[in-house]
Amino acid sequence: MRGWKRMKVMRETTMDLRRSIYPHLCNFQVVYESRISQLHDKEKAAVLEVETLCRESGSEELLCLNRSTVFLRGAGGFSKSKTELFSYDKRSPSLRPLVKLPILPPKSVAALTHEDQTQPNQALLYRLSGDYNPLHSDPEIARIAGFPRPILHGLCTLGYAVRAIIKHFCHGDPALVQSIQGRFMLHVFPGETLVTQMWRQEDNVERINFLCSVKERSRPVLSGVVFLNASPRL
């Protein structure tokens, strides 16, 4: 149980969708390759980023590039020098430039608003995607981590926000999404209401900014951007 004091907290995620797979969902095999792309010593903690490259089986063409950045509490202090902290950066090129997050809605732009009520068993349902971290299902582990009850997966929250953007800006067509970047700001409890504010970047119609908040606590939980493929419908 002591190991849970060194909790892994998801900090940021990016997804570059290089090629649509929708016409090939049947009889389609993919190969995943994961590697460390960044590692930074923060003395009392460490920041670790892992890249996952997805390719069609038998092909070198990249389908998708995912990055997950996690904050590892209690895992820092491994640098050889106290004056020069260890830092490693070998990121692959991105489709779009990464944006500094979080982003707040500007007063000059009217933001669209979308509400979604999560289910009390939402974390248990999302757990079936393969993320079996007990922080999202075991009340005792949640208490050890400092939460009164299990919390929702960050990627599940991101899914709600991106789905709202697909509905309001893509006419329901997910193939228009080219890249996603999200910064996790606070936890969400299953059953809470997510309010997603969305607005176009003033100088780029293909860029949609968003801020997701929990209605019951009036707290922002997720900020990010979605870049869309160029389309006459935009």
Same domain, 114 and 230: yes
By residue range, what is the domain housing residue 46?
Answer: 1-95
Say if residue 39's pLDDT is above 80: yes
DSSP assignment, residue 186?
A: S
User: Contact 165/226 with Cβ under 8 angstroms?
Assistant: yes
CB-based burial, 22-48: b 16+ in 10 Å, e otherwise = eeeeeeeeeeeeeeebbbbbbeebbbb
Same domain, 168 and 64: no
Tokens 């067509």 correspond to 173
Backbone angles phi, psi at 115, to 5 degrees: -110, 140
Q: Quick one: pLDDT at residue 111?
A: 87
User: Contact 156/122 with Cβ under 8 angstroms?
Assistant: yes
Same domain, 130 and 173: yes
Same domain, 57 and 110: no
Q: Quick one: pLDDT at residue 134?
A: 92
Same domain, 119 and 78: no
Q: Quick one: pLDDT at residue 7?
A: 66
Same domain, 86 and 115: no
Say if residue 214's pLDDT is above 80: yes
Segment 69-85, tens digit of pLDDT: 999 988 999 999 988 99
Other CB atoms within a 10 A radius of the CB of residue 202 amount to 10
Same domain, 162 and 229: yes
d(CA 212, CA 158): 9
Length of the chain equals: 234
Segment 91-128, tens digit of pLDDT: 998 888 889 999 988 887 778 999 999 999 999 999 99
Among 75, 95, 115, where does a domain finish?
95
Over pLDDT 90: what percentage of the chain? 69
Q: Find residue 220's DSSP bridge partners.
A: 213
Among 95, 125, 155, where does a domain finish?
95
Same domain, 193 and 123: yes
Over pLDDT 70: what percentage of the chain? 92
Segment 142-181, tens digit of pLDDT: 998 889 999 999 999 999 999 999 999 999 999 899 999 9
Backbone angles phi, psi at 165, to 5 degrees: -65, -40
Same domain, 168 and 230: yes
Residues labelled as active-site residues? 131, 136, 151, 154
Same domain, 86 and 113: no
- CATH number assigned to the domain comprising residue 7: 3.10.129.10
Mean pLDDT of 84-92: 94
Same domain, 90 and 153: no
Please tell me whether the overall predicted TM-score, pTM, comes out greater than 0.75 for this model.
Answer: yes
Among 70, 95, 120, where does a domain finish?
95
Number of domains in the chain: 2
Same domain, 204 and 149: yes
Segment 17-34, tens digit of pLDDT: 988 766 556 677 889 999
Q: Quick one: pLDDT at residue 58?
A: 87
Beta strands in the chain (DSSP E): 8-17, 30-41, 45-56, 62-73, 87-89, 112-117, 177-184, 193-201, 204-214, 219-228
Q: Quick one: pLDDT at residue 232?
A: 45
Q: Quick one: pLDDT at residue 6?
A: 46
